[in-house]
Structure 1
């Protein structure tokens, strides 16, 4: 099992709730008494949206940096990791994972492919420092092996879409223009083999990175794209959504809530950010896309949308779009159980794709 050395919750953040102001009765001047703000949306107890627009987030457990020290594993090489700021203006960082053995050690070892990874969470929650996202990327780095760059981005509802897409564009620009200056990357990363990836909402971001929806100035020559159970939506219900398998983490109600909080105010789930084939979505230039690997669980309520996504790409002329399904697995299975058997098989499939592309 790949374990982080230190975990600790961050200090509570100030909520910034606006206080009601009243006129003192002693002044003899009447005034309006504003009711205190009330909860409009509560998302899994992780955050609440209040009626005045304030968002209150509960402190989350995070894996803290440990000075890049290698993390040993019984069956995988040690991985060193550190956090790097890629957008100072917005205070956004990424976590860099580099296998210690076999690359960048000054011994002439072959450099490793780069996997740019965006975490999931419905565009509303999550961070590369979350223990499960950290463990997932740690395993990917060790077992592919690859240099993994796990990036944070601004979250909704404080920053609704397209904020996350804009941040992804900035990250790719940073990687194109400045990353080679980092000694870890200069010693270990093969920039001729850059893959963009992500899980759930992060896979939606990765889709936009290869489909041309991000700023053209941010585009890299990508070797491929790996989408883990991409988070897409639409107003028309699919059969798998209507069935909504019981006992799964992602329910239809939760999916709808996160789209409601992440999309621009008043937008429907047919907005291009949610539905790549919606009425206002640009046509996908499938023939121009790099090799694409899509992985999904058979019990994922989004499985019909994911199958349709791959089928449409193939119909549009993309001959290198592959879908691999994991029977019995639900949405988010890699992150929910990073050390599980299904996660191990997922890593093996991704390894064949990345090193064979």
Structure 2
């Protein structure tokens, strides 16, 4: 793909995402170096009870993870903290673990859940179409496994309990979490009895996961008065899929539609507890509910919680809101309920 170019002439733009990402008629791509308006720099960059730092987990692709850990006191002395692996949203085309809204949400997540939060970046489309992001998620989890064995990053190893890992994701990040769960739960041959995985994933939290399909759901088909369409609307999600899926693929591609005609069956997949969060005013609401209900019907430990009046991604649009606080407490309870720790084990 051609390298990024100078700000293009409007007549050469064939796809435009808020002026932040533009695809030109000659196939070249322009990405603005400025964070978009929905990621203001006014969000807090630090928290008195959280330490954070960056690391590179994939040197070949220059992929970073931003790591957060609460200050001492989040757990009893000698007890390490659960780990939340977090993948950001952005329709596989936008987003970064360094954006102000993502960073601020992770600060709050770390301190209020009492967990090490690892916010991992991944390659974006259309420069790197799917399954590139899925591959990067797997590379990151392998990196985490290496960390659990080698303790190469002392700052992380001294706080992280690799036996209590949860994979979370916002929107497209939730889609990554789903596919990772399927990969792990489908692994063959299964580990022999007594074998210990260096990273024990105890659950998945899918925050308004970005799923699609050729057939429209009821929440996708809602018509809004002129000028009142939500920030995440049908035109935007269609554009995301068009730019991120393999060329020529439809929205029923298995990455987009977990229950599509060509998607693998999930009946034999072993899932740990799965929490799906959706919003009542999110156009993805019906897909999120349908996903959780289908998993539950297959006998998987999945449940869905709906925030009735909230739009898509409300927790990163307003990371310090009351509703976001309620969501984080929900995640905290899920972590506790999914992994009860013997108090006699340090």
Alignment of 1:206 onto 2:177: yes
Structure 1, 81-90 or 243-252: larger mean CA deviation: 243-252
Aligned positions of 1:222-301 closer than 5 A: 222-243=201-222, 246-285=228-267, 288-301=270-283
Structure 1, 52-61 or 265-274: larger mean CA deviation: 52-61
Aligned positions of 1:308-327 closer than 5 A: 308-318=290-300, 320-327=301-308
**How far is the alpha carbon of 1:187 from its aligned partner?**
1.2
Instruction: Tell me: CA distance 1:275–1:36, structure 2 relative to 1, closer, same or farther (3 Å).
Output: closer
Alignment of 1:15 onto 2:4: yes
**How far is the alpha carbon of 1:181 from its aligned partner?**
2.3
The corresponding residue for 1:97 is 68
TM-score (norm 1): 0.83
CA contact (8 A) 1:169 1:214 kept: no
**How far is the alpha carbon of 1:277 from its aligned partner?**
0.7
The corresponding residue for 1:131 is 100
In structure 2, C-alpha distance between the alignment counterparts of 1:36 and 1:63, rounded to whole Å: 26
Rg larger in structure: 1
Match of 2:315 among 299, 314, 334: 334
In structure 1, C-alpha distance between the alignment counterparts of 2:153 and 2:294, rounded to whole Å: 39
The corresponding residue for 2:131 is 162
Instruction: Tell me: CA distance 1:273–1:219, structure 2 relative to 1, closer, same or farther (3 Å).
Output: farther
Alignment of 1:183 onto 2:157: no
Equivalenced residue count is: 316
- What residue ranges of structure 1 are gaps of 5+ in the alignment? 1-13, 20-34, 73-77
The corresponding residue for 1:51 is 25
CA contact (8 A) 2:296 2:303 kept: no
CA contact (8 A) 2:185 2:271 kept: no
RMSD of aligned Cα (Å): 2.6
The corresponding residue for 1:6 is none
Instruction: Tell me: CA distance 1:188–1:166, structure 2 relative to 1, closer, same or farther (3 Å).
Output: same
The corresponding residue for 2:77 is 108
**How far is the alpha carbon of 1:110 from its aligned partner?**
1.7
CA contact (8 A) 1:86 1:94 kept: yes
Instruction: Tell me: CA distance 1:228–1:63, structure 2 relative to 1, closer, same or farther (3 Å).
Output: same
CA contact (8 A) 2:182 2:269 kept: no
SS of alignment partner, residue 223 of structure 1: strand
SS of alignment partner, residue 230 of structure 1: coil
**How far is the alpha carbon of 1:53 from its aligned partner?**
1.5
CA contact (8 A) 2:278 2:289 kept: no
Structure 1, 140-149 or 45-54: larger mean CA deviation: 45-54
